[in-house]
Amino acid sequence: AKLAGRDTICFHDDATQALMEARNETRRDLRLALQRGEFRLVYQLQYDADHRPLGAEALIRWQHPSRGMVSPAEFIPLAEESGLIVPLGDWVLEQACRQLVAWQQQVATAHLTLAVNVSARQFKEPDFVERIERVLTTSGADPHRLKLELTESSLLDDVEAGIDKMRRLKRLGIRFALDDFGTGYSSLQYLKRLPLDQIKIDQSFVNDLLLSGDDMAIVRTIIAMGVSLQLEVVAEGVETAHQLGWLVEAGCHVFQGYYFCKPLPIDQIELPFTSIPVS
């Protein structure tokens, strides 16, 4: 029994060691990847209850030369730790704004919004507002079409400073969504103070929606909260018609998920706009 115990500990040490080495390698690779242009954005459309596309969320992808596609869930936390998220975040914003400008130039797509994920570390940079202003000015993107997705952790240690930044950006026309809603500890009191436009129900609640009475109750509560604060409620991770039907019935406003489409490179996105008359 003693030997087995020692073996187990040894196994854990090796595994931890290997994991740490892999992380260090990823950290080193990340720095080069930005210079080498290994990142790209994919876009996932968002729809209203009538299946009309309202816009998209931009999601980053890393095409690693030897490892293939690396998930943002793996490298974003490392980029946050090392601070690389700041230049990487700038790159994401530049690409996203470039896409917005392309949409703005076509009547059929001019109304589409684009949501960009902003990490906590990026949002906490003292010059975050100036960085956004710079990207908007150089790209010519309409701030009214840009949405920034924050998480509760973005606002955690200095709510006042966060609210101030949000207000300054809102004056430009930028909109805000609170991502992964329901996984943190937001009270209604706290939520009321944030100048938000949308809350996004975390997909973990949507996944098990029709299997779990608890999740149904949670989602109903989130929608009620959103409605009472006059916020748009977005459901992400919608995978089935059944989930969609339930969410529409429950009063959710915006829908995103594999049921409609996966995140795709821009040239693979089909926007059914031919039916919209050009006036």
Q: Can you give the binding site for Ca ion, defined by CB under 5 A?
A: 117, 149, 179-180
CB of 143 to ligand C2E, least distance (A): 18
Candidates 30, 92, 135, 254; binder of ligand C2E (CB under 6 A) is: 92
| DSSP codes of every residue in 153-222 | HHHSS-HHHHHHHHHHHHHHT-EEEEEEETSS---HHHHHHS--SEEEE-HHHHHTTTT-HHHHHHHHHH
The letter for the amino acid at 103 is W
- Residues 225-264 touching ligand C2E, rule: CB under 6 A, are 236-239, 257-258, 263
Report the residue number, 103 or 181, with the smaller CB distance to ligand C2E. 181
Contact of 112 with 103, CB cutoff 8 Å: yes
Tell me the torsion sign for CA atoms 153, 156, 158, 163: positive
CB of 277 to ligand C2E, least distance (A): 31
Closest CA to 55 of 275, 279, 273, 278: 273
Report the residue number, 38 or 108, with the smaller CB distance to ligand C2E. 38
258 binds, among Ca ion, ligand C2E, none (CB under 5 to 8 A by kind): ligand C2E
CB of 195 to Ca ion, least distance (A): 18
Residue written as token pair 């290994």: 38
CB of 269 to ligand C2E, least distance (A): 14
55 binds, among Ca ion, ligand C2E, none (CB under 5 to 8 A by kind): none
Report the residue number, 149 or 215, with the smaller CB distance to Ca ion. 149
CB of 236 to Ca ion, least distance (A): 5
CB of 72 to ligand C2E, least distance (A): 3
Neighbours of 205 (CB within 10 A): 22
Closest CA to 131 of 182, 80, 161, 93: 93
- Residues 102-131 touching ligand C2E, rule: CB under 6 A, are 117, 119
SS3 257: coil
Neighbours of 158 (CB within 10 A): 11
Give me the 50-89 binding string for ligand C2E, x by CB under 6 A, dash otherwise.
Answer: ---------xx----------xxx--x-------------
- Where are the alpha helices (H) located in 37-126, listed in sequence order? 72-82, 85-104, 120-123
Report the residue number, 78 or 216, with the smaller CB distance to ligand C2E. 78
CB-nearest residue to ligand C2E = 257
226 binds, among ligand C2E, Ca ion, none (CB under 5 to 8 A by kind): none
Closest CA to 86 of 123, 61, 60: 123
Q: How far, in Å, CA of 39 to CA of 69, rounded?
A: 10
CB of 1 to ligand C2E, least distance (A): 42
The letter for the amino acid at 122 is Q
Report the residue number, 60 or 135, with the smaller CB distance to Ca ion. 60
The residues of the shown chain that bind ligand C2E, judged by CB under 6 A, are: 44, 59-60, 71-73, 76, 92, 117, 119, 179-180, 203, 236-239, 257-258, 263
